[in-house]
Amino acid sequence: MQRKPTFCLLQPRSYPNRLSLVIPVYNEEAVVPLLRHALQQFTRELQGEAEVILVNDGSTDLTLQQIVDWAREDDHVKVVNFSRNFGHQIASTAGLDYATGDAVVLLDADLQDPLHVIHQMIARYCDGYDVVYGQRKARLGETWFKRLTAWLFYRLMRTLVHKDLPVDAGDFRLLSRRCLNALQQMRETHRFLRGMVAWVGFPQVGVQYERSQRAAGSTKYTLKKMGAFAWTAATSFSILPLKASTLLGVIVTLIGVEEAVRALLAKMFHWYVVPGWTSLTVLVSIIGGATLISVGMVGEYIGKLYEQAKNRPLYVVSQTLNVSPVSRADVEPRLKAVGKQ
């Protein structure tokens, strides 16, 4: 395997004593039985202990009942039940908050992220890497539209926003305990976990895999959710869109100056033949448009500041199952302490 140059000295580690598998679930009744079967097999292959943290993100189907039944039969399975749907990124955050393992793997419920890749991730973790992200070399069974938008998304985000963001890597990744502790200090409301993990730093490396088809059910990422996700990714990390609106303002002002000079010269040298109705209309609409774009852009950020200023908890948990009071007592004061900062 090739080694990536890194700015930290790699310190080999021992195999994780406990591995936490964090899985957000939202209306996944078709998938849960398959997931359960696959995970039961997979955890037997591990050399250490495993815990599975299932975060039910306000499912409206039989998902909750299924995972509760599962957890009642297996106390390595922990359930965190949200009071409503908070979205994938927040559900993942909650799962990470409740994880107690030395290393944590974040994955989707639909088995699109093959479990056997986790063995490779653990091997890189033992080499000393703190973040091992899955990098998709092929996407099976996804529409050309999804593939095109994903391709564009990663390239745009990398050039415009996060230079360290690995391309074609989703949330399927392994995090070390120290990376997770750093990530937990970041309690921002608008979350783009991959960007946040890139921000945390530490030695990071990718393992390539083929992303399979969804085992059952359909995608929970609607076009609207995808759009909102991309927008959060672009605006939660950078003020580039604000700068872009300033640039637009500058360009429009330059056009305005050019038009003004032209009008003055026309008046001085009597060039004026036709009343300048067209140019006037064009100018007014360009300036109006640019002003509105800029104001809207500022508004987006003010909205984000407003949301953040409310300082609400990121999620509300209605029940937990198999979550020991020890780990809960561990999670809550830590989160409160973070909230006070």
Binding site for ligand UDP (CB under 6 A): 24-26, 28, 57, 85, 87-88, 91, 108-110, 112, 219-221
Cα first-last separation, the chain? 42
State in angstroms the smallest separation of the CB of 228 from ligand UDP.
Answer: 11
- Considering only residues 105 to 164 of the shown chain, the ones binding Mg ion according to CB under 5 A are 108, 110, 112
| Pairwise CA distance, residues 213 & 277, whole Å | 58
- Residue given tokens 């909650």 in the structure block: 94
State in angstroms the smallest separation of the CB of 79 from ligand UDP.
Answer: 13
State in angstroms the smallest separation of the CB of 229 from ligand UDP.
Answer: 9
Four-residue CA torsion sign, 229, 195, 89, 122: positive
Give me the phi and psi of 48, to 5 degrees please.
Answer: -110, -170
Tokens of 184: 């937990």
| Pairwise CA distance, residues 300 & 241, whole Å | 10
Give residue 273's Cα distance to chain centre.
58
Q: Three-state DSSP class for 232? A: helix
| Closest to 46 measured CA to CA, from 179, 198, 174, 195 | 174
State which residue, 228 or 248, has the beta carbon closest to ligand UDP.
Answer: 228
Query: Which amino acid belongs to residue 78?
Result: K
State which residue, 221 or 301, has the beta carbon closest to Mg ion.
Answer: 221
Stretch that binds Mg ion, among 63-71, 104-112, 197-205, 302-310 (CB under 5 A): 104-112
State in angstroms the smallest separation of the CB of 222 from ligand UDP.
Answer: 9
State in angstroms the smallest separation of the CB of 89 from ligand UDP.
Answer: 8
State which residue, 26 or 192, has the beta carbon closest to ligand UDP.
Answer: 26
State in angstroms the smallest separation of the CB of 333 from ligand UDP.
Answer: 26
State which residue, 140 or 250, has the beta carbon closest to ligand UDP.
Answer: 140
State which residue, 92 or 245, has the beta carbon closest to ligand UDP.
Answer: 92
State in angstroms the smallest separation of the CB of 308 from ligand UDP.
Answer: 21
State which residue, 109 or 182, has the beta carbon closest to ligand UDP.
Answer: 109
State in angstroms the smallest separation of the CB of 15 from ligand UDP.
Answer: 27
Tokens of 48: 């250490």
Q: Does 51 bind Mg ion (CB under 5 A)?
A: no
| Pairwise CA distance, residues 165 & 169, whole Å | 8
Query: Which amino acid belongs to residue 267?
Result: K
State which residue, 112 or 294, has the beta carbon closest to Mg ion.
Answer: 112
State which residue, 92 or 112, has the beta carbon closest to Mg ion.
Answer: 112
Cβ-based burial of 199 (10 A; exposed 0-12, middle 13-18, buried ≥19): middle
Tokens of 235: 């605006």
| Pairwise CA distance, residues 91 & 9, whole Å | 33
Tokens of 324: 């020991």
Beta bridge partners of 23: 54
Beta bridge partners of 21: 52, 105
Q: Which residues bind Mg ion (CB under 5 A)?
A: 108, 110, 112
